[in-house]
């Protein structure tokens, strides 16, 4: 570990969808494993302050609409999202952007895995 990093835990202890909450300064940060990758986001929803990272982690649902009289063709995309458990606001794990309005953003942090340990970078 170096300055500017917080050890979270062993990478092998995380299954997809698992979340570990750590303190980064005065902020709670959720470290999430999804699709084999690690992400870190501030655990505070910009809508009402809910614990965003404690919500459901899943693939992003996307749709194509052909026009009037057509049904929306839905499928799950490649990106993973987390939905705040209080009111369902959903955020992209990689960018922290709200999936419907990118003017709402949950701050993200870089994550590294070194020697089998997950670290959140704080600077």
Instruction: Give CA–CA dist 90/113, Å, rounded.
Output: 26
The domain of 30 spans 5-64+71-121
The pLDDT assigned to 52 comes to: 95
Tally of domains in the chain: 1
Task: With cut-offs at 50, 70 and 90, classify the pLDDT of residue 2.
Answer: low
Instruction: Give CA–CA dist 114/98, Å, rounded.
Output: 30
| Predicted structure pTM score | 0.87
Indicate which CATH number applies to the domain containing 114. 2.102.10.10
- The pLDDT tens digits of the residues spanning 52-93 come to 999 999 988 888 888 888 888 888 788 999 999 999 999 999
Instruction: Give CA–CA dist 55/74, Å, rounded.
Output: 22
């Amino acid at each position: 570990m170096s300055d500017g990093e917080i050890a979270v835990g062993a990478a092998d202890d995380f299954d997809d969808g698992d979340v570990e909450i750590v303190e980064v300064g005065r902020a709670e940060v959720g470290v999430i494993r999804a699709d084999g990758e690690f992400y870190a986001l501030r655990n505070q929803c910009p809508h009402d302050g809910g614990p965003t990272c404690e919500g459901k982690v899943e693939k992003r649902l996307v749709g194509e609409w052909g026009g009037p009289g057509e049904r929306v063709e839905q499928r799950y995309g490649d990106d993973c999202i987390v939905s705040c458990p209080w009111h369902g606001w959903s955020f992209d794990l990689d960018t922290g952007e709200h999936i419907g309005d990118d003017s709402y953003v949950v701050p993200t942090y870089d994550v590294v895995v070194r020697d089998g340990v997950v670290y959140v970078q704080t600077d």
